[in-house]
Amino acid sequence: MSGSKGMDWGGPIIVFDAMCVLCSANAQFVLRHDRAARFRLASMQGEVGTALYRRCGIDPENPETMVVVDGQSVLRDSDAVLAIYEGLGWPWKALSIVRLVPRFIRDPLYRLIARNRYRIFGRREACWLPSPEQARRIL
């Protein structure tokens, strides 16, 4: 990945769409509830997020998934969402019960929402920007 070789980002990175109202709200939720500061965030519109999407074989201009990248491990679709909530600890970790639903059911539902995210939840005029306190967790 260009410009990121050898960088230690200190934990899993959530790559999200900062133009999507739902995705930005989820990013803000993670920043608020991740008391251990485990996750870092990178918007797909930024240099780090674009590079990570390309590394995962995803077109950053037309993504239909968010990803959680932890070293060489990449989670996408419903697995990425569940990993985020599991990583936040209790009570959010309780949502991991959704793993009992088979992936062949979870992922198509996730992708349906992802493909229609702007239509359902709206699109921002500009990328969401973190507060100064949150900025250190954004790549």
Residue range 5-49, pLDDT digits in tens: 444 556 799 999 888 888 889 999 999 999 888 999 999 988 999
Distance from the first to the final alpha carbon of the chain:
14
C-alpha to C-alpha distance for 62 and 66, rounded to whole angstroms: 11
Q: In Å, what is the CA distance from 103 to each residue of 29, 62, 77, 86, 100?
A: 24, 22, 9, 16, 9
Query: b/e map of 100-118 (b: 16 or more CB within 10 Å)?
Result: eeeeeebbeebeeebeebe
Contact (CB, 8 A) for 17 and 23: yes
Whole-model pTM: value is: 0.84
